[in-house]
Structure 1
């Protein structure tokens, strides 16, 4: 469920014939694994295929997606990562710039892109948001990408 208590539905099979790229920032491996698990489950439930690329952290996620755009191999993208507040302002820059870069890519290139970059105060919050039996933000990002891919297909 999202913060409003309603998860946006994606019909089973809605992704049939579509191929997505999941790009995961691996700065926090346990969190990344859980978010990836949710994203994969959502794509597979919808009937979509996928590939996965791992990058060091949230800042590298938009760069990898920009590189993948040059291949024209994907119908959509799922961006996963986590930024945890530390004792410095580094958190603010990393969180805002990675999300800004992803949003810019999505708008400029009309990308079916689900953004699942967690921005949290601590690891406990991240695990709650990542957990596939909890908030499942990785699954939510994949479902958003699926919905946008469907919209793009209808409009083109």
Structure 2
């Protein structure tokens, strides 16, 4: 099967300016890869795993998912719980359901760190999450015996080098 990957971006726009940077980076990465997408919004990072699970169980029109959001540490332990549970929820879904999920939820100490990680000029974590999702889709397709490569090989190498 040789078709364009269709991705669902699930964003938590609690910090709207940061969410906008993440979404724009994600959309640029999808355009560069030739992928199509839709966007849904949820109140916060904690709700992202539930939304992806609901969508994945109700339709098969998405090949992969990208989680976008930001959690900034405050004065209470709320940050720790939200960060841990949103990551755990997404990982559980990916492993249990075999979903290709790119993780673009920033977990930072302050707004300056969030902006640096979200903006395309710096870390471009939205684009990085899309490239991770596409790399997982490529793996799924290769394991299924399909030839369609939905990743930009050079981008995948850059992503892998940054993660090392």
| 1:124 and 2:112 aligned | yes
Paired position in structure 1 for 2:125: 137
| 1:152 and 2:132 aligned | no
User: How high is the TM-score relative to the length of structure 1?
Assistant: 0.89
Aligned-residue Cα RMSD (Å) equals: 1.1
Conserved 8 A contact 1:16-1:47: no
Structure 2 unaligned spans of 5+: 145-164
* Structure 2 SS opposite 1:50: strand
Q: Give aligned pairs, total.
A: 142
**Counterpart among 64, 70, 74 of residue 51 in structure 2:** 64
**Counterpart among 55, 73, 91 of residue 42 in structure 2:** 55
Supply the distance in 2 between the matched residues of 1:56 and 1:111 (Cα, whole angstroms): 22
4+ residue runs over 4 A deviation: none
Paired position in structure 1 for 2:156: none
Supply the distance in 2 between the matched residues of 1:121 and 1:54 (Cα, whole angstroms): 23
Structure 1 unaligned spans of 5+: 1-14
Conserved 8 A contact 1:16-1:46: no
Answer 1 or 2: which has greater helix percent: 2
Paired position in structure 2 for 1:93: 81
Paired position in structure 1 for 2:65: 77
